[in-house]
Amino acid sequence: MSDTDVPILQLNNVESSYGPVKAIRGVSLSVKAGSIVTVLGSNGAGKSTILKTISGIIDPRKGSVLYRGQAIQKLDPARIVKLGIVQVPEGREIFPFLTVNENLLMGAYTRPAADKAALANDLEMVFNYFPILRERARQPAGQLSGGQQQMLAISRALLAKPSIILLDEPSLGLSPKLTREIFEIIVRINREHGVTLLVVEQNAMVALKYSDYGYVLEVGRIVMEDACAALLEKEDIKEFYLGMKDSGVRGTRRWKKKKNWR
Amino acid sequence: MQFLQLVISGIAQGCIYGLIALGFVLIYKATETVNFAQGDLMMLGGFFGLSCMVVLGMPFWVAFLATLAVAMLFGMLMERALLRPLLGQPAFTVVMLTIGIGYLARGMVTMIPGWGTETHTLPVPYKDEVLRVVIGSGDPLILSTEHMVIIAVTAFLIAILFLFFRYTKLGIAMQATSQNQLAAFYMGIPVRRINMLVWGISAAVSACAGLLLAPITFVHVNMGYIGLKAFPAAVVGGFGSIPGALVGGLIIGIVESLAGFYLPEGFKDIAAYILVLVMLVILPNGLFGDKMRKKV
Ligand SMILES: Nc1ncnc2c1ncn2[C@@H]1O[C@H](COP(=O)(O)OP(=O)(O)OP(=O)(O)O)[C@@H](O)[C@H]1O
Ligand SMILES: [Mg+2]
């Protein structure tokens, strides 16, 4: 098997819980290096839990997480960042009283100090993606708008020089226009720097449009997977995630059926 | 002159309160717990420095630096061995633990025969010296060297801490961790090691306060009760603000010093608490509580 055939990230039957609450129940998924993969699911489906498990914030009960074929599910978060997996968490989670610049510097925390020139280069790169951050570089990050904070969170992650970025609902609280802009930059980052992306979303329309491959998560289980173009054609996806119902009667029946799966 | 002299000795006393308050605040911001053993760490620092000088015969400045280093290690060890296993427990449990550590520290020191139960003088080289400063044609200002050393060393220490938190990667990471611990984990910042270091710095700052105070109040097992005055200092400054802790300490020191001279007997000891009550009514968040909230 050649190097490119090994998925950069693979989850095998991963089960994670919060105390007695099982949040994901046997999730398997695989991310090809250089691709953009999305996981769709509604509130409480377990999307964030998947990403937290990959990042080592919570340890899975069962199953394994493989990074380039190597098991990482027992490593601590700092080790996982060093390996090249970094997360842009749900709700941005910036450092509000540090300046924009200091926030970016914290993104590069795991990089060796000798990396100064490369770091300056990367700062220039994120400022080119998001020019507003250059203007606000010396302001406390808490004074940025929600959209600007999302840009900062993505930039901060980029400064870790990751091979794969985990994005938790980047569209949260953003206007449709800004959401599209952010996704367009995500695609550019992917194309221009070969960074792999695993994007978790509720906004299926946008996520499917910009990603290569998609999984659908319901109550902690993967119920569907396919190339995004194919998923966009599926009836269930159209109905439940894109809000395009054909007929009222059928829609209600399907909805009931969906309820029964729980 | 009288007034100025009182203010200066108040500032010196206030520096001590401020340093201990700083110790409280550092730990509070990093781990959201209040370390009630802060004053006892100061007492241990005093005894350790005393032992270095009297038993081991070290010169004062060597003993001073040795005490800071050992206190730092001690603080880190305390975090690693006693506090980290309690991670995730309610704050109350942790507070009870720190109170317990305080009792333990005092108990252990008392058990050292002929040492822990006595009151000792720290033989500092600048003991009992005074500086006379002549201003204009009036009486000269008489300043005790002990007070001047306290003020100078505190200013130096604060400057170092300021530069550390403001300009070093590690210092900024400490701020980051105290502002958003989860995000720090996501960035690969070693949060637990950082918290351990915060306990170390906090213990070293307290020990430093102990050594500075020792020439004035002597070294004895209960010298840590001065920590009870550092609490009002932290509250006046707005619990959780580093500049606030220092300013709060200075205010309490000055008020106490003036109250001791101008007000009837007894007011000196309660002045700090009256100030806190007034403060809580007028400015519930303290002087720096609002703007500076959550800044290491
Ligand atoms: N800290 C927690 N403690 C207990 N249960 C939790 C915790 N976090 C999440 N859960 C539960 O785990 C399940 C999955 O949560 P998760 O946060 O992964 O959902 P999500 O798909 O990210 O939802 P959203 O779109 O609302 O962010 C939910 O049932 C939730 O109630
Ligand atoms: Mg979520």
Q: What are the extents of the domains in chain A?
A: 3-257
| Ordered structural domains, chain B, with CATH | 2-282 (1.10.3470)
| pLDDT at position A73 | 93
Q: How far, in Å, from the CA of A24 to the mean position of ligand 1?
A: 9
Q: Which whole number is the average pLDDT over A100-118?
A: 92
Asked if A78 lies within 8 A of B190 by C-beta distance, the reply is yes
Asked if B176 lies within 8 A of A102 by C-beta distance, the reply is yes
pLDDT in tens, A236-257: 777 766 666 544 444 444 444 4
Collapsing DSSP states into helix, strand and coil, what is residue A15?
Answer: strand
Q: Are strands A213-218 and A36-40 parallel, antiparallel or unpaired?
A: parallel
pLDDT in tens, B63-108: 999 999 999 999 999 999 998 888 778 888 888 999 999 999 999 9
Nearest CA to ligand 1 atom 30: A44
| pLDDT at position B211 | 93
Asked if A98 lies within 8 A of B179 by C-beta distance, the reply is yes
Nearest CA in chain B to A79: B188
Q: Considering only A47-51, B25-29, B239-243, which range has the smallest mean pLDDT?
A: B239-243
Nearest CA to ligand 1 atom 13: A23
- With a Cβ cut-off of 6 Å, ligand 1 is lined by A 18, 21, 23, 41, 43-49, 90, 202
Residue to test with chain A: of B187, B189, B192, B294, most A Cβ within 10 A:
B187
pLDDT in tens, A41-78: 989 999 999 999 999 999 999 999 999 999 999 999 99
| pLDDT at position B112 | 85
Q: What number is the ipTM of this complex?
A: 0.87
Q: How far, in Å, from the CA of A187 to the mean position of ligand 2?
A: 22
Determine the atom of ligand 1 nearest the C-alpha atom of A41.
21
pTM for the whole structure: 0.88
Residue with the two structure tokens 């170092």: B160
Q: Which residues contact B184 (CB under 8 A, 6 or more apart)?
A: A106, B173, B176, B177, B191, B194
Is residue A161 predicted with pLDDT exceeding 90? yes
B182 and A CB contact within 8 Å: yes
Q: Is A259 exposed, middle or buried (0-12, 13-18, 19+ CB in 10 A)?
A: exposed
Higher pLDDT, A4 or A37: A37
Nearest CA to ligand 1 atom 4: A18
Angle at alpha carbon of residue B169, lines to A138 and B191, rounded to 5°: 110
Determine the atom of ligand 1 nearest the C-alpha atom of A47.
21
pLDDT in tens, B117-139: 888 888 888 877 787 777 776 77
| pLDDT at position B116 | 81
pLDDT in tens, B146-174: 899 999 999 999 999 999 999 999 999 99
Query: Which of A81, A88, A100 shows the shortest CA–CA distance to A183?
Result: A88
Torsion of CA A226, A229, A234, A240, to 10 degrees: 90
Residues of A with CB under 8 A from a CB of B: 55, 57, 77-78, 80-82, 86-87, 89, 93-98, 102-103, 105-107, 109-110, 113, 156, 160
- Token digits of residue A212: 């290569």
Q: CATH homologous superfamily for A3-257?
A: P-loop containing nucleotide triphosphate hydrolases (3.40.50.300)
Q: CA B92, B93, B94, B98 torsion: positive or negative?
A: positive
Nearest CA to ligand 1 atom 2: A18
Q: Which residues contact A109 (CB under 8 A, 6 or more apart)?
A: A160, B169, B173, B187, B188, B189
**Number of continuous H segments (helices) and E segments (strands) in chain A:** 11, 10
